[in-house]
Structure 1
């Protein structure tokens, strides 16, 4: 709900009335409005003799007038509706919203729980009849839906409900139905028996207000002169029935959606947090880059690729952009989702795993719960296999981004190079026509994509073929190398200071300066080097040992790996194992590693010779 500048409207421009009987109902509806035009009701004024007090605003794209009746009951409702009719002559639909008493229906398909919303199909005016010793008879054949108020006997309630098929009791609709086309949207706050109390009234009122807004969104009429014809009761039947169908199936739908979310779920937060947080003052080079700024400020779908070799901090950058809210100029109107690929980890190497996780984040962050509806039919058609159907998942994502009223969706795919080759090809096949095709779908959607990866050949070929210089940032290029090294120096200072008591201030300074003097410093080199220092830092506490440490620090990533291998008790076998792992196309099991290490060092000419050499 927001207060905005008053629009230039007249009373005849209001086509929807929402009517409440008690304060908690009225307050809940106020919060459901998209806009409240405070003061406009006084400018519009009332017709002579109309003493009602109104609020006016906009809800579900309708100009609406909200009326709080002077009290509960049919008489107050009839009087208030008559006055409303005299002032707002173009009302096409009145919704009586709020709280009601429900018929429990325990053990039946009509069981009602506290807070369940009841939407009228018809109304029975229960006080237009007589109660006989064995039955109830109406004076008129008015087949309406909700019944007489203040049923305080459970036995009477159940008897009347059984006779007429009631599911709820309320007090105002019978006084309004003959003034306007009218439906009732009320939530159960008690069971209309001797246990009536006010404990659940606020909860039920809020549920009814939300359902009222959803109901308005379902009706096929719009504000404006082209739709000035008043809706008849029969015109309302079809959309009302559709709403009732949804009401009847709501538990099944919620059950299916819970299954869908469980199927799509991944521990995306843990995957992101596996990467270290940025050090204060780092990643600033990226925030200043004009290509990033252009992507950030774009109001349409767009893609940007950030590429660099190993150990240049791409994943740290991706995490920082997410954590610091640097992926949108309007965070309140943006859904940010992400996936961190990781080779060798279950459910982190396939394209469909990425989209499953992304959709789960979108659905759980969509407070209006409207985007998940795009997955209902595919989930019904494909069941559990939807999780592995990349193209169906992509279509759901595009549908979410194309929904007119949806928020902007920003998706980060980190380390795309660690996605399996088939998965990368899947992604290539959908990105090119979406963002850069002749009839690209990006025009009518709001899906912004940030991809990080190493500059592998297939990735460079793909992005070079579709992207422009404005959508490609090489973070380890010559134009960025000096900025990256300055930021690595900040990380060096922080990490070395974390050694604390193991080194004095003078020695920590000496280590920092020595590390910062290395020409080929990258994040990967620093990570490996700090690991070497950390493993034996207690050995290097003496001043003479510190000098030895400074002389032995690796000068490059390759030097760091050499020093790590040399620490092995069997350096030759360690090197053999490393060569084997580098040559494999997938992670090996322990048994497979054992077999590989037992093979004799000789040339093999065919598969049979290799198998003959494996011990059985």
Structure 2
């Protein structure tokens, strides 16, 4: 163990992986302390942000710009655990496209957390498999579950949230107090949360939906608060962005997933982790960047909330 205030590679026990710079910014803003950089081997091309959340020393790494998908995330994770060999588990934190349904009322800014379901470990690669008779696509393979320590922490946090509010709003408030420039990562009041019918495509080159037919918006009950809800279940991960409502619904129906992301499937078998996604769009043609920063912040705040539940390691089994 290093002297107080001086940290070595082996002092870091938790790894966070992000795909986008805005996800990295949100995750960094959740650190209680920021530590000095440490050298890494020449073969490790990652640039790390080091710090502390609660009792845990944390390493944050991000995919290079323009390099997304399962392979890129896997490379970041593999290099991270090679350079910081005391890492016990990871969190992949960032944004995703939600799958709204009558069973799960997912809204923009909500958080989806990967949880094992059916015979899947929490993340399923929706574009990996083979085409069989009658052109049907057969999904292949399973990915590892999150470590037991994270599953136990999720259970504990879910129980707490049955009787009390989550800490996400408080963490977002602390973020803006520490970093006033990050006000764009708070709830985007100027943006509308509109869910269009699955078969109704965006009709103009305008990024926002000003020209889209409001009659094709699905009416949903107004929530009493803007506090994000947290959903637990399967996350669909792959190498392609889903921007088509019928395709979203078909894959979700076949696999039972709650949201889509890019990259998480590449990590699961090499880097034991929990995937946390803030919902920034509905994986349809109406998606735009208006909710991305807030969604990245809600996911990062949930990650901080989880780490507050996980005890300091010592002899803790993962």
TM-score (norm 1): 0.34
Please state how far the C-alpha of 1:90 moved relative to its aligned partner: 1.3
In the other structure, the counterpart of 2:41 is 47
The answer to whether 1:209 aligns with 2:270 is no
Verify the 8 A CA contact 1:136 1:160 in the aligned structure 2.
Answer: no
Verify the 8 A CA contact 2:244 2:285 in the aligned structure 1.
Answer: yes
Cα 1:190–1:155 change in 2 (3 A) is same
Please state how far the C-alpha of 1:6 moved relative to its aligned partner: 8.0
Please state how far the C-alpha of 1:68 moved relative to its aligned partner: 1.3
Equivalence map 1:28-67=2 (5 Å): 28-37=26-35, 40-41=36-37, 44-67=38-61
For the residues of structure 1 that align with 2:24 and 2:124, how far apart are their CA atoms? 24
For the residues of structure 2 that align with 1:143 and 1:175, how far apart are their CA atoms? 11
- Report which of the two structures shows the higher radius of gyration computed on alpha carbons: 1
In the other structure, the counterpart of 1:163 is 254
Verify the 8 A CA contact 2:56 2:312 in the aligned structure 1.
Answer: yes
For the residues of structure 1 that align with 2:90 and 2:97, how far apart are their CA atoms? 21
In the other structure, the counterpart of 1:222 is 312
Please state how far the C-alpha of 1:134 moved relative to its aligned partner: 6.1
Cα 1:211–1:34 change in 2 (3 A) is same
Secondary structure in structure 2 of the residue aligned to 1:162? helix
Secondary structure in structure 2 of the residue aligned to 1:200? helix
In the other structure, the counterpart of 2:283 is 192
Please state how far the C-alpha of 1:136 moved relative to its aligned partner: 3.1
Please state how far the C-alpha of 1:180 moved relative to its aligned partner: 1.8
After superposition, give the CA deviation of every residue in 1:159-217 in whole Å (9 maximum; x if it has no partner): 11011101100011111111221110111000111111111001111111111101112
Equivalence map 1:118-517=2 (5 Å): 118-121=112-115, 122-131=122-131, 135-142=136-143, 145-147=234-236, 148=238, 149-219=240-310, 221-224=311-314, 226-227=315-316, 231=318
Please state how far the C-alpha of 1:141 moved relative to its aligned partner: 3.7
Secondary structure in structure 2 of the residue aligned to 1:115? coil
The answer to whether 1:100 aligns with 2:96 is yes
Cα 1:208–1:223 change in 2 (3 A) is same
Equivalence map 1:557-572=2 (5 Å): none
Query: Higher strand fraction: Structure 1 or Structure 2?
Result: 2
Cα 1:93–1:114 change in 2 (3 A) is same
**How many pairs are equivalent?**
217
TM-score (norm 2): 0.64
Unaligned runs of 5+ in 2: 116-121, 146-233
For the residues of structure 2 that align with 1:102 and 1:199, how far apart are their CA atoms? 15
RMSD of equivalent CA atoms: 2.0
Please state how far the C-alpha of 1:53 moved relative to its aligned partner: 0.1
Please state how far the C-alpha of 1:83 moved relative to its aligned partner: 1.0
Please state how far the C-alpha of 1:142 moved relative to its aligned partner: 3.8
Give the structure, 1 or 2, with the largest relative contact order (CA under 8 Å, sep 6 or more). Answer: 2
Cα 1:73–1:6 change in 2 (3 A) is farther
Verify the 8 A CA contact 2:248 2:283 in the aligned structure 1.
Answer: yes
Verify the 8 A CA contact 1:185 1:212 in the aligned structure 2.
Answer: yes
Verify the 8 A CA contact 2:260 2:283 in the aligned structure 1.
Answer: yes
After superposition, give the CA deviation of every residue in 1:428-468 in whole Å (9 maximum; x if it has no partner): xxxxxxxxxxxxxxxxxxxxxxxxxxxxxxxxxxxxxxxxx
Verify the 8 A CA contact 1:124 1:143 in the aligned structure 2.
Answer: no
For the residues of structure 1 that align with 2:53 and 2:131, how far apart are their CA atoms? 41
In the other structure, the counterpart of 1:72 is 68
Please state how far the C-alpha of 1:143 moved relative to its aligned partner: 7.5
For the residues of structure 2 that align with 1:134 and 1:164, how far apart are their CA atoms? 17
For the residues of structure 2 that align with 1:31 and 1:49, how far apart are their CA atoms? 28
Equivalence map 1:522-533=2 (5 Å): none
Query: Higher helix fraction: Structure 1 or Structure 2?
Result: 1
Secondary structure in structure 2 of the residue aligned to 1:157? helix
For the residues of structure 1 that align with 2:71 and 2:144, how far apart are their CA atoms? 20
